[in-house]
């Protein structure tokens, strides 16, 4: 088995989407992919009433993405994450949303390389698990290659950060919504490739616009890793091919019907705790994309998963609309 970087393939954290149900579902499709939590603020972890670090042991390898800018608070949260068994802590220096900027974290921190470096160093000093940074290639008018290399050089040097996940777009901190910031600024893959050539000692992974495993393989000729975003959510079936294509391992439950049924014990346990079926099944809607009956599958779940008393029988009924249309080799 080749010694692949832990960053070789991962799924991008998405606010209000990458919850523990989503991660558990993705893990049924791929065993080797690194999964990320949605961004959790240091304030929520330290002062919040809920358990913002909850996850299932089945999710490993799993990384906690933190939002914050206070080195002491980040170090406290990183320590808690390690105690809870997370495999990595990641600092978000890429999210451009207003609510993130108002808290002085996310992409606006690209303008404060020394603060980011101090935050990473503070976390590294108290944990033994990897501390990584997810960032953009620039913000607003600060988008030259020199700006990017200065930022990376400072955080890698002063902060001792060894791993960066680079979203290959700049971020506009005003004038664009987070959704527009994922689509309007142009992608610049060559800039990320150049970064790896200029910092060969660092682990550099790329994020942004990746839709196929063929694209992943192309990027891996230049970089250490690739992070897939929206495609993994809209077309999760693609993840069933990841272990074999990217890691040389056959994942046991590549058949989408088997994947759905593998979720039943988890769903039943969650229903017993009071979770609504729809909170889990919303992540499964795109599983049969490209297969006849996929629309009926989505419609049945969308219309019935939120009804009182909805349970796995809703899934069985939805499967009946699509299962007999799946090629046997799927």
**Is 15 annotated for ligand binding?**
yes
280 Cβ neighbours under 8 A, 6+ residues apart: 21, 25, 263, 266, 267, 270
Q: Are 314 and 286 in contact (CB under 8 A)?
A: no
Give the C-alpha separation, 76 to 73, whole Å.
5
**Is 229 annotated for ligand binding?**
yes
**Is 283 annotated for ligand binding?**
no
Q: For 307, how many CA atoms within 13 A lie in the half-sphere containing its CB?
A: 13
**Is 39 annotated for ligand binding?**
no
Give the C-alpha separation, 122 to 252, whole Å.
40
Give the C-alpha separation, 273 to 270, whole Å.
5
**Is 123 annotated for ligand binding?**
no
47 Cβ neighbours under 8 A, 6+ residues apart: none
Q: Which of 22, 95, 108, 161 is catalytic?
A: 95
**Is 230 annotated for ligand binding?**
yes
Q: Cα–Cα distances in Å, from 54 out to 23, 64, 276?
A: 12, 10, 17
**Is 207 annotated for ligand binding?**
yes
**Is 208 annotated for ligand binding?**
yes
**Is 71 annotated for ligand binding?**
no
**Is 211 annotated for ligand binding?**
no
Is 77 assigned a catalytic role? no
Per the annotation, binding residues are 13-15, 65, 134, 167, 207-209, 229-230
Q: Name the residues annotated as catalytic.
A: 95
Per the annotation, binding residues for FMN are 13-15, 65, 134, 167, 207-209, 229-230
């Amino acid at each position: 088995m080749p010694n692949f970087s832990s960053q070789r393939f991962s799924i991008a954290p998405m606010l209000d989407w990458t919850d523990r149900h989503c991660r558990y579902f993705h893990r049924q499709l791929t065993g080797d992919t690194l999964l990320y939590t949605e961004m959790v603020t240091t304030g929520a972890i330290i002062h919040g009433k809920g358990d913002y670090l909850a996850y299932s042991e089945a999710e490993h390898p799993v990384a906690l993405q933190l939002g914050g800018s206070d080195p002491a608070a980040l170090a406290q949260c990183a320590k808690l994450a390690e105690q809870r068994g997370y495999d990595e802590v990641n600092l978000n220096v890429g999210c451009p949303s207003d609510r993130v900027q108002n808290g002085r974290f996310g992409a606006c921190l690209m303008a404060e390389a020394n603060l980011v470096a101090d935050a990473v160093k503070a976390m590294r000093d108290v944990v033994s698990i990897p501390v990584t940074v997810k960032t953009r290639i620039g913000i607003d008018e600060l988008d030259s290659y020199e700006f990017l290399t200065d930022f990376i050089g400072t955080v890698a040097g002063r902060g001792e950060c060894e791993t960066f996940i680079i979203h290959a777009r700049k971020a506009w901190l005003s004038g664009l919504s987070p959704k527009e910031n994922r689509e309007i600024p142009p992608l610049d893959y060559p800039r990320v490739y150049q970064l790896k050539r200029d910092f060969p000692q660092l682990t550099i992974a790329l994020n942004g616009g990746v839709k196929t495993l063929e694209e992943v393989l192309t990027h891996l000729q230049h970089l250490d890793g690739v992070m897939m975003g929206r495609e993994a959510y809209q077309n999760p079936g693609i993840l069933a091919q990841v272990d074999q294509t990217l890691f040389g391992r056959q994942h046991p439950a590549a058949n989408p019907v088997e994947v759905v049924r593998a979720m039943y014990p988890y769903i039943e346990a969650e229903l017993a705790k009071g979770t609504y079926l729809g909170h889990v099944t919303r992540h499964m809607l795109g599983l049969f994309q490209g297969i006849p009956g996929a629309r009926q599958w989505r419609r049945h779940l969308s219309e019935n998963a939120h009804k009182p008393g909805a349970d796995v029988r809703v899934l069985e009924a939805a499967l009946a609309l699509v299962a007999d249309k799946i090629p046997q080799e799927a």
